Amino acid sequence: MANDSSKARFERLRKVLFQYTPSDHPALRQVVCKDGTRFGFFHKGEFSKILVDAPCSSERHHLFQGKEKEWKEKRARFLAVKQYTLLCAALLCAAEGARLVYSTCSINPVENDGVVKKFLKKKGERLKWRPSQNLLEGEEETEFGKMILPDRSGFGPIYRACFEVISP
């Protein structure tokens, strides 16, 4: 199941899934448009694999669109709160033994390791942090995750951190 709270992104996601998944696998095409921060209340313990591709400050997008003056530290802090809330909602959705991956396209540590550190501090008794064993080309380790930066890979930034849910 894929979810996006933005109607426009929901429609694009739905279109891509219908275009690139086999028609004989309708389960691969389940897309919903719900508030991700409340998602866990309606799908408790249902999923064994969860990706939280969190909304972030997207610094690179600002630079490439010539909007670097629009970037604000206050927005990054606001987004970190939302990102943490989305992770908590995802944890509610997770079955025991589930794999949970948190991802952003931000280089800001407040939105990356900062969110993960808070998540582990508050929810750590239900989680096992899983440092990824394999680094991808151009990927670097951070305190709690992995980061791909554009200067080394030609794309990104991409941040990810992985967890295993040890109790629902």
List the catalytic residues: 105
CB 57 within 8 A of CB 79: yes
47 forms beta bridges with 94
CA 54/CA 76 separation, integer angstroms: 12
| Cα–Cα nearest to 98, from 7, 167, 2, 19 | 167
| Cα–Cα nearest to 114, from 149, 86, 77 | 77
CB hemisphere CA count around 27 (13 angstroms): 0
| Cα–Cα nearest to 56, from 71, 41, 69 | 71
CA 163/CA 24 separation, integer angstroms: 32
CA 73/CA 65 separation, integer angstroms: 18
